[in-house]
């Protein structure tokens, strides 16, 4: 985020301590958080940044986004979530009980992404809380899950492409989704960043 939005280079952010965040109702992460995020974006005159919303965990700050997933009836997204969650998954124009939580490091490395089922006024599911906390603890311990294979690796990793951080096997193409195709290293080398 640009530091010239406030006098003296001050930045504005909503920082939620993790011990408090994990006990909030999911409806807070919906409507109330959206209202606070919009107010911060207006106040800072910088509306294209996710770093306004942060969790504080063990002295580190982690930008995050939390979304209600919506989809059209019969869409590929609906099929994906129904196959993952079963009949309990509903969405469309009337809302959804499927949520997505993304967490990044302050230097924009994606450290966690998860979709899960939850009730509108219910707490974050225990599994989502423990997975997010494990990701932040790994980062605190200078480790991260490879963005392709998921193996836990020491930071900074073998290579980086946008927010992804990769182990040497996935970076070089000896494993992962680009196995035998030059890996993420080849993909990154061909990127124009336009």
Domain ranges of the chain: 3-141, 143-194
**Residue that has been written with the tokens 């590929």 in this structure:** 76
As given in the structure block, the two tokens for residue 114 are 């998860």
Strands of the chain (E only): list them. Answer: 14-17, 53-57, 60-68, 98-104, 110-117, 143-145, 152-154, 159-161, 164-166
pLDDT at 181: 92
| pLDDT tens sequence for the chain (194 residues) | 344 444 555 567 788 899 988 888 777 776 777 787 777 777 776 665 556 788 999 999 999 888 777 777 778 877 887 788 775 566 544 456 788 889 999 888 999 998 888 776 778 888 999 999 999 999 999 999 999 999 999 999 999 999 899 999 999 999 999 998 999 999 999 998 87
DSSP-assigned letter for residue 25 = B
Site of tokens 């990793």 = 157
In the structure encoding, which two tokens stand for residue 94, read together?
A: 């009337």
DSSP state, residue 67 = E
What's the CA angle centered on 76, arms 27 and 161, to 5 degrees?
Answer: 80
């Amino acid at each position: 985020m640009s530091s010239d939005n406030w006098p003296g280079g001050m930045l504005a952010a909503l920082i939620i301590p993790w011990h408090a965040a994990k006990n909030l109702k999911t409806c807070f992460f919906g409507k109330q958080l959206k209202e606070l995020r919009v107010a911060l974006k207006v106040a800072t005159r910088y509306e294209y940044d996710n770093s306004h919303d942060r969790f504080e965990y063990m002295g580190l700050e982690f930008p995050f986004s939390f979304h209600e997933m919506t989809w059209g009836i019969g869409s590929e997204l609906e099929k994906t979530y129904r196959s993952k969650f079963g009949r309990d998954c509903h969405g469309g124009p009337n809302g959804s009980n499927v949520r997505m939580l993304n967490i990044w490091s302050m230097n924009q490395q994606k450290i966690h992404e998860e979709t899960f089922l939850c009730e509108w006024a219910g707490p974050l599911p225990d599994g989502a809380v423990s997975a997010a906390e494990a990701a932040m603890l790994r980062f605190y311990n200078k480790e991260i899950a490879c963005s392709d294979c998921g193996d836990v690796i020491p930071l900074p990793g073998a290579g980086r492409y946008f927010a992804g951080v990769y182990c040497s096997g996935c970076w070089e193409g000896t494993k992962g989704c680009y196995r035998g195709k030059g890996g993420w290293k080849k993909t990154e080398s061909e990127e124009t960043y336009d």
